[in-house]
Structure 1
Amino acid sequence: MKFKRWTQNVTHVMRPWQIGFFVVLSWFLATIVLQTIYLWLLFIRDDSVVLRGLSDSFIDLFGRGKYNSVVESPVMLFIKYVLILLITWLVFYCFYRYMRGRTLKKQLRTINYALGTDRAVDTASLVPEIRELETNIEKMRTRQKNLMEQEQEAQQAKNDLITNVSHDLRTPLTSILGYLSYIHDDRYRDEVELKYYTELVYEKAKHLHKLIDDLFSYTRLESPDYLLAQDRLDMIELLRQLVAEFDGLAREKGIEIVEAYKADNLLVSGDGNQIMRLFENLFSNALRYGEGEKSIELSARKEEDWAVIDVTNYGKEISALDLPHLFERFYKVDKNRTTTGTGLGLAIAKSIVERHGGLVMASSKNHRTTFTVKLPLINL
């Protein structure tokens, strides 16, 4: 069984032509080694008084013919060939060990390459390769651990999303059903109260529609399969259109929009509808929470290869604890607010900016809150 296993190992390490070549070479070397030993013994015998005396005594006792017949007898020939086979096997085993080491090094290099290493392999010793293999296996374990942690985080995020969506959908839906039950059961006193309940239902339905629309936009932007348009956009022109769109709503709230453009044009490549959605969300957020000086400042400038746009409103500062979480989905600074906002506006803004290769950040101090958007400019 052991011999069979060893034979399988040999055929696995060496090809048939290599086995034949090394067998012939081993036999040749074994013959040379045995002949060398024989000549060396003759030399020692001729040089040694004791061995020469024993040999001469044997020849005198049995005669030279008997001596030659013993030396050339089948037994001695058998011993000679056994010695040749033994030496041949030893030499071939040395060749096998050498080829096995080379094969193992080659396999280790292959494994190291598959594990992502790009370092040169030291072929002088097997120990560095084993150490490198251990290092790469440890890296693979680390990557696997990170993937598992990311999968757990994704699953947790999915569960949180379902929980938050269920809660935010149920809140307006419960109010809608409650008001509709008053109308359905004719529990209103007069037409004025009926209109009041109808308007409440309408407002709750609009909020529910906004939440569903924001949720759809967010999930679509997070999908890697969603492709953005690559339009050539002038950010100054786009911002002016945005101001014209929000100017009426701002005036109703007594808020003035102050524009400050420090460039004639800022050309970017992107999806015009999504970029507009981005700044609509920032403007809506500024109008919702702005107070104090009753103004919103909009500025645009060029910084190296970036188009930088600031949207600033005045009012209550956002605490340093809330700032890092502003762009998380369903995050609300005022935890008591349950009827205004969907908690997805800034998360959508962040997704749009990042899909365009840009950055968005927020700062709040001295009763001044600023959202800064950076988008890469087109290289002309």
Structure 2
Amino acid sequence: MTLSITLPLATGELEALALNPTGPWHKPTELITSRKVYAAAHVTPKVLGNNVPGAPADIDWDATLAFRRELWSWGVGIADAMDTAQRGMGLDWAATQELINRSAAEAALIATPERTVRDLLACGAGTDQLDPATVEPGEAGLAAVLAAYREQIAVVEASGAKVIIMASRALARVASGPADYLALYGTLLSEVKEPVVLHWLGTMFDPALAGYWGSDDVAAATATFQQLIEAHAAKVDGVKVSLLDAGHEVALRASLPEGVRLYTGDDFNYPELIDGDGSHYSDALLGIFAAIAPAASTALQKYDAGQPAEARAILDSTRDLGLHIFEAPTYYYKTGIAFLAWLNGYQAGFQMIGGLHSGRDLNHLVKLFRLANTAQLLLNPELAATRMAGFLNAAGVESAVLEGADA
């Protein structure tokens, strides 16, 4: 028997969509070595929690940690407490600390000498315990930002996870120019115990980060960023660049000091960036990888097996889904990540902390379902269709799952 679901078109009419089988994805039996990859994971709220806008995050820890164990089983690392986990969009600092410590404790249970906690888990350290609006420009403001970074870095280091130094809204507000960025980041890099990942997040992900590295001009900001990396290369494991500009990333990665990785944060152009140009390739720290982990893992295994064409074809098959989930306004991509996780059975309900499940409209979510079906990333098509039909019915669209004879 084949299954189909009736989905609304933009005109309001209903159309039956035949459900594809899940793709030929398989979990690795050995360590993935061709690329260093972290999937940025979301958090799952309690179904009956008070996760309304402005309320402290009330997290379903069992579901949140089970999703992380699932990602690890696909051979990828996890980037936690990042923007995908709704840092600055619902995840408060108290909940962030608990997330870091719980995820690190889980990672420690499966860590080996070949796959350490730092390989399994990298966590964001920022300054979001500060309200940027209350931090005034000048020396006092810079000192407050430095203290906030130090507090969060200490939490991540104590957990055993790799530190990702996230971009800071407060620093963007108080810094007067490139020198302030160089001085503050230079201090942090001189103090960290082990090499860190530097994260450059573009304004399409967070408009409050305009002018980061001291300039709105990308070339000027890049020059400052490179100056910082070159001065502290021994303390920089890699850089994650989320500007959605493939040309910029290719040029930057070719110029990095030896041993410093480029972790692509480009959820639009990741197939060609991970594939590389014959001289260099990008590793990855991507939100989309949490949504496409089975396909991404299978592609990485193909790279390990010396089958780059097959690997690239798999990554390309997921591109349209990534482009849609991360379409403007890009900072609402988290809604699509959580929606697909719900369709695939990783959480009981389609909810998000801070009420962010309202971040995308019905037409967007219907198209997401279609694209996930095309990419064969509905891991249990019958469950996904049943949930989608119920979701549409609750929204006022009379959808149904239909059975038909095989051709």
TM class by smaller structure: under 0.3
TM-score (norm 2): 0.19
More helix by share: 1
Greater Rg over alpha carbons, structure: 1
Structure having greater relative contact order (Cα 8 Å, sep ≥ 6)? 2
TM-score (norm 1): 0.20
